[in-house]
Structure 1
């Protein structure tokens, strides 16, 4: 492109402003959700008819406003981000055009332009009000390389050579395959794809890092690009530990801020996986700045890793001392963006930004070179494993990276569950995109709901160590016989993600009123657990029937079970308010399981042939007649135990029987007093309660255990506790522990029949049969 004429340079600069006052006013207007203008009073009615509303009546004008379009709001939001990042030379409206060729028509409108002393950022914004697939981007990127070359030449002429130019294609709510040829063309030009993840990440940086956000942003945009060609030379000591060389030195914070980069566990850094760092805590950062400005300092070292992808760190050593393997020398560091990954100490490094000591202090640094992300992650975990700051979400997210190559099956499966969930959350083309919290990214759904849902769905097997649990493999997508674990995990992940995206896509596309509901029955933590569990259960059901196997694709699985999901969703859509509240009110321990069973029951109503073992048992537990029958047996068994235990202990010890069980008596007396107090406070007056009425099942068991074979003196034919209370529950009678095991099981069932209002728990047929067997064993003796 020929040199721009001065008039063309002036036209470019006329569309930019570095007036701080003007930029502040523009920033305020762009932060607003409304477009506001002042009009003559007599024109107000016309504006009102066009959808405007009165904001304020002034002396000579009326200020009217209307909501910004989604695209305008997004474009203004991006502009405000760059203002917050410290850029103070920006376009002030959307009419900025930049030449890229010789012809007059060779100009392109740029939505946001941000310039400082080192960089020029050109941003094109595209958005949709609701998530949708993007239109073809062929025309956008096909000639991009040529346009960018022209842009750079125009910028050199208008603003001087040496500025780093970055073109950003920013999108909101547009689903673009990151592996598409269009994105490949964009990235080939060294441009940046600024998607929903990046937009939210930059907002988080601004919120948490304030002025320091700029450093992380520059590292993200210009990673590995030289700031200048002058190397940073500092004295250093080279050492070795853990078979890794490292360097110890001191460095001014302002240098490390530019060289440094933090691998935040956020979707915006997905190309750097595995990532592990949490975002800074704003109040803590503020406190650190105050501490530094008041003369405070941190004597411990920052730990970094020099990523030598393009630029090498050079150590020129002097001779080694005879007393140590360490050696002194000069370390030469390339002056490049994001070359130093901060493993530990980001609060201290970023705390120095905007302080009085950024250039005058030096901070101690321990620097490794060429650690891969896994090694960095392990160091981070070793340092932080006992700190609460590593959130459960971050820990769950890192399972993928820490355990993927484990030699234990159960750990690999943990990694696989984590990886599937992350892919669901980070796939721009899926309905769960940005809806599951991953690492430091907050979202409406918790990572743990998906991890536990996948664990109990049957889609993946369960294992202990390297032993797979046989009953968990019936409907598994994972082929446990494939010894190429990595290949099998990748195959399984691909199928599972496709399968679950299709299942959630059904809700999003055909049942939007269910998908978008504020108190959602699907898009909630309990609902997600239940939905994934149901999907897995149906997958197992159809696998057992022979309609699916581990080789079936995600699409085949979805097509096979979709009729069941439609049955569920049709009923969820038409639940009465009372039915919906009944389900939504299930909180606390076991709530996820109750939701899961309710989902199964709704499918069972339409497809009675679909019935899992857990659903059968749950339905039995809702049977009031069955519960009443079990309660009858339980009450009679407890009566029998009380009668026989007290009778026998008196027969064995005579008048001393109370002293023999005095420790139990003391507890019973205390319970009796508590019961008397409770009755009194509830208005029942003074009631006398015998301590022998306060025995528990465990008290009876303690007496039976202790005096198992005891007999009264001189009574050789006496029926002992062993004779009377030994009952085989399927494990034989080879020991006392096996002989009285029934008592522990009986006690565990007691809460299911001893109190009214236990419908949620109830008793199954098998449990009632157990109680009936014990009852029949004792009943003749009781009579």
Structure 2
């Protein structure tokens, strides 16, 4: 045992699949000894690496309060010479012998981080697995996980003391849902739960379309402001509401969004009120309006107005276009999918001569 370069403490665990071990490895060591079996053709079982996801994890790992508590699952190569003795796993790092079964993006992001030397990562060690067993474990882990509601995730941003695009969006959603004068009064399913018969849109869906109007990289903005609350973020003309966020004018974001949807409500009162029959106040209609919003915003800004009256004129033109094409805002004409949202958004834009 004294000839081995590494000796790491382990805890033995017995479950129906067999015996495995829990331990922790420095990220720098894990990088040397690990590999990934990507599914190409009929071989391997892992998903191909997603660059955006890896980069997001890299950025998060460089936060001063970054944490990765979930274990990375490793299958140890059968050809490795090792010893398990006195609750220690003893080995050399002569070649990559630990195949990552679960956690490939987490590991890749941390490996790219300038702070990787600071991380000790929890790992699960599995020995003597066949290729079929590796694939089974991978598919089981990834198919049995319960996805956390995005409404809950966005709601949790309200706890933070720091500004962030996510927190601003949550606050806008909360105020619109509780303000009796709001077009969304009691209409948002906060935490994804339907609290009234009028609830037709989840908080998560509401924020999913609002967030890109404020930031193209909200996680990066969050980290910048977390590390320096006085930091001045860069503006981005592709995000029409970003200027107001940067200048801490969240009330203007609320006012503009309220103007937009008061105008759509008053143009189509029957369609807005009856979400069981019409799609206007559901994800399809809401998503289409938010897709069209940047161009409507640009038009209004060029005229020096983003008032309720301006948006009322825009949607009056949209109503005329629908009548001209003999279309009704129901799922029969606009089924619930991304393509139909785009078509509906383009109809809004073309009715205001905003499409070439």
Q: Report the TM-score, using the length of structure 2 for normalisation.
A: 0.47
Using CA pairs below 8 Å that are at least 6 residues apart, which structure has the higher relative contact order? 2
The higher radius of gyration belongs to: 1
